[in-house]
Amino acid sequence: MADAALVLTWDRVVPGREQQALSLFGQTLEYYGTLQKEGAIESYEPVLLDPNGGDLNGFILIRGSADQLDALRRQDRFIEMMMLATHQCENFGLCSAHLEGQLQGRMAKWAQIISK
């Protein structure tokens, strides 16, 4: 079971780069599908949001073990895709997330800190 995740977030496509971004989105989903079949990640879930007045219009949640996701972040293809996304999408972001056991451990640590 996945205890870690990567979250890729974006606002909107840079005007004039719509076709490039659409192509990259398709390539990205194909790449993550291959990684899932190979067992390099546990799963991935793309999410598009309705217009909301904020700066988050979509994200992809990639689930796996911390070791799987650390290895993924070092893959040349992943790095290249992140660079392309930064060029094609406004406010593109990548952050680590904590699930299952990691989540419980983080919350326990937070509870310790705030009780001091």
Query: What CATH number should be reported for the domain holding residue 16?
Result: 3.30.70.100
Tokens of 7: 């979250």
Residues 110 and 26: beta-carbon distance below 8 Å:
no
What is the Cα–Cα distance from 27 to 80, expressed in whole angstroms?
12
State yes or no: pLDDT of 5 exceeds 80. Answer: yes
Tens-place pLDDT, residues 90-99? 999 999 999 9
Tens-place pLDDT, residues 26-48? 999 999 999 999 999 999 999 99
Mean pLDDT for all residues in the chain = 95
Residues 7 and 59: beta-carbon distance below 8 Å:
yes
Domain count, the chain: 1
Residues 88 and 21: beta-carbon distance below 8 Å:
yes
Provide the residue range defining the domain that includes 41. 4-114
What is the Cα–Cα distance from 67 to 41, expressed in whole angstroms?
10
